[in-house]
Chain A
Amino acid sequence: MDLLSNLIILLAGGALALPGIDFAFKRRVPGGRLPGYVAVAVLVASSLLVGFSATRTLEPAFASNLFRVDLLGVLFSLAVLLVSVFVAIASLDYVERDPNIGVYYSLLIFTALGMVILAFAVDLLVIFVAWELMSLPTYVLAGFSKRDPSSNEASIKYFLVGALGSGLILYAISLTYGLVGSTGLAETFSALTRIISEKELAPLAVLSLALFIGGFGFKMAIVPFHMWIPDAYQGAPTTVSTLLAAGTKKAGFVAAIRVLVIAMTALRADWTITLALLAVLTMTLGNIAALTQRSITRLLAYSSIAQAGFIVIGLAVAPTSSLGLVGALFHVLNHAIMKSAAFIAAAIVIFKTGREDLANFNGLGRRMPFTAFALTISMLALAGVPPLNGFWSKFVLFTAAIQGGLPWLAVAGILNSILSLGYYGWLIKRMYLDDFEGAVRIREPANLSAALGIGLVLIIVIGVYPTPVIELARNAVLST
């Protein structure tokens, strides 16, 4: 059996079994935590499966014209499965008393399954199906706090924008199919190159690529398509925001890399400047908007938009620099870890105090020392302070920008990193220097802290010793 079939059986089996398990054991297991433990076990098993396969030679998948098991897919699915594990562990505390807990974990695993299939798909049909499998459960998860008006609002806004994104992708695929007569990525782009040079049908090919950028852009949170992000992240349960920011957004990038970058290489450098401008716009707008936020989840949402800009740098210079995609991949992996850690730290604070405004973070260093420390480290990593993991991936990205002949892009990136220290530093100052009236030590919930601890260890370990991960990313790019 190849890796992908095993993953599909494991994840789909787990997701389908969970509501049943929940129903059968609801009254017998105290606290109703059983579905959570099953979900964590399934997700950990899948990540181990993927993790071990990275060191061995990969068997081809069962339908090799639809799926391609390569290192790029392995790396991405490892990243998204890690995020799902974090989210599942954090949810053990966060959604403990919800009556629909079995469904919650089931939807979480379905999302993970969609992201894993997306990471390996090389046919537009499978990409679209996986895209929907990943998106539909997250619409429901965003509105999971049924009686909470903010959760409702987040859910409906996210749904409308997400469905529009899927619609655009579907129309783009239909145009591509009409031009090429096939949906396999490999044939598609060799044919597209021919069509672009023919001039007569070129506008249609360009239109379909623009629709692809739009459709994927909604998930990736690139700037003209970003307006739903802060609302969705703020209103959704914070563990679900973690999944959206660190998981499905990354899946948007893997689809974009599979579809756009290969296509762009075929279309040569025409799109480099467009994407470079999008990158600068995304970074700058995200960072400036983050400076004025008063809610931690909104701040992290805007910082997440800014980080998407950094990843787009890598996509923009991919045709001219071999390091571009390596940097993008590396930053995707790092950002998944850093952002999960930051969101989980925010989840701990919201869970324990019920407040998400930044004033609530005053004196957090004394009230919740571990959470405050972990949040500080993850924010420093997000800002790109050495020797944490965010520094190395930004370093690779900026080197790629200079190598690719766009030094101004590197300069914009460095300036933006400094700008982002503005709001991260402000929050760190609040946690350690400001006082909170009537501050008492608050006990930090065990499972949430465990998830945060794993994230923290990964941030520091990859920061101190990044070589194996960079090598893995380099091999992944070579394997496409």
Chain B
Amino acid sequence: MSREDYEIVMGLEVHAELSTKTKIFCSCPTEFGGEPNTHCCPICMAMPGTLPVLNEKVVEYAIKAGIATNCEIAKNSKNDRKNYFYPDLPKAYQISQYDMPLCERGYVEIETEEGKKKIRLTRIHIEEDAGKLNHDEYGRGSLVDLNRAGVPLIEIVSEPDLRSSKEVESYLRKLKSILEYIEVSDCKMQEGSLRADVNVSVRKKGATEYGTRTEMKNMNSFRSIVRAIEYEADRQIDVIENGGKIEQETLRWDDVSGRTFPMRDKEDAQDYRYFPDPDLLAIKMSDEYVEEIRRNLPELPESRKKRYIEEIGLPEYDANLLTASKYLSNLFEGASAICNNPKAVSNWIMTDITKELNERELEPDQIPFTAEQLGNLVVLIDKGTISSSIAKKVLVELFENPKDPMKIVEEKGWIQISDEGAIKEVVLKVLENNQQSVADYKAGKDKALGFLVGQAMKETKGKANPGMLNKMFLEELNK
């Protein structure tokens, strides 16, 4: 038996920090960073006698996420306590949701090599984040910072519908993009505002029962997730092939050694003794309230994609790439509105902008120039003020030192020469200096024209209007 005889089965629990201004049960700010314990109050520090009050935006954002992922929204919901001891959890319980989550039974669609695939969601519930333990560098103890304690999270739980690390990556990217579009989370994986627990099991192809699963906690980069899945699936197949049995356990992925390690003592099998939090009251959602949120939901990537294909006539591949990120999509729409040439804008994003992003290792949300500036660049090309080869240079400038493209062009002296007299002068000079090409052209070698135009471009440092050059060369050559 080899690896090809096995199928990997995975489900994800994705935690996304909500971008509310305040924490879930108190009025402390959620802002990332800050001096330790300065975004805290007696409530999120679990001082005796304090009482939580639920932030209304947390409920609204969770319902938004539920609607955007095709979930049913509960009419009745509540908060429960999940009990465990850990020093980053000051109450010794986390307020979460157990049997009555806000959202259930949804799905998101991902693209796979075999076409579209629905990944079912079990549920989305709200809960609070824990604090952070800083380990003393001398190993004498730990230091507790509770700035993150009480920051609102949604946990999005999928069914075990994922079959490869590639599918897991597409699913995560899709979720991230949806949450960004509906503006409920900024999904910055490097800051931990989007992280995933991955449940992995393997089984022989064709088997109907699931294998025993292991869980890898708190993964926060696409790269580690893919590596960890590959490693863990291989490990499990090895164990089974050697006649062993997979233990159900929680694992920690170590990025440095590229291995997984058991995290908890198996004896303390998870037993969180959930019960309804008596400090909080029931949550009831009226149809009107849910409808209101549905009506005001920003346009989702799927719908934008459809519009780009059907109304603008972009190829599906381009529409996919443009809508994969809210930032690219907004850039595209904003620039198109200014220059009224969406196909040109799309080409710029698909080619030169994507290339610059890759070379500079930037994410779309880090693009330094505005949609207006990109739109104005396309206007300059369309008006004939600059050639497209100059435009490429302007784009690099937009990445380096963003300002209005017209200003860049003026300052650099890059304005296209469209003056007939000036162009004629260049054409005559190039013809004079390239008698051989002229002879070639007259002998029927059309390619010679391209060479002559190229020479004229070189002569003018790319500033000559290429259409006019072409026309004038033809006139002179055919005289």
Our verdict on whether A and B bind, yes or no, reads no
Instruction: List chain B positions with a Cβ less than 8 A from chain A.
Output: none
Instruction: List chain A positions with a Cβ less than 8 A from chain B.
Output: none
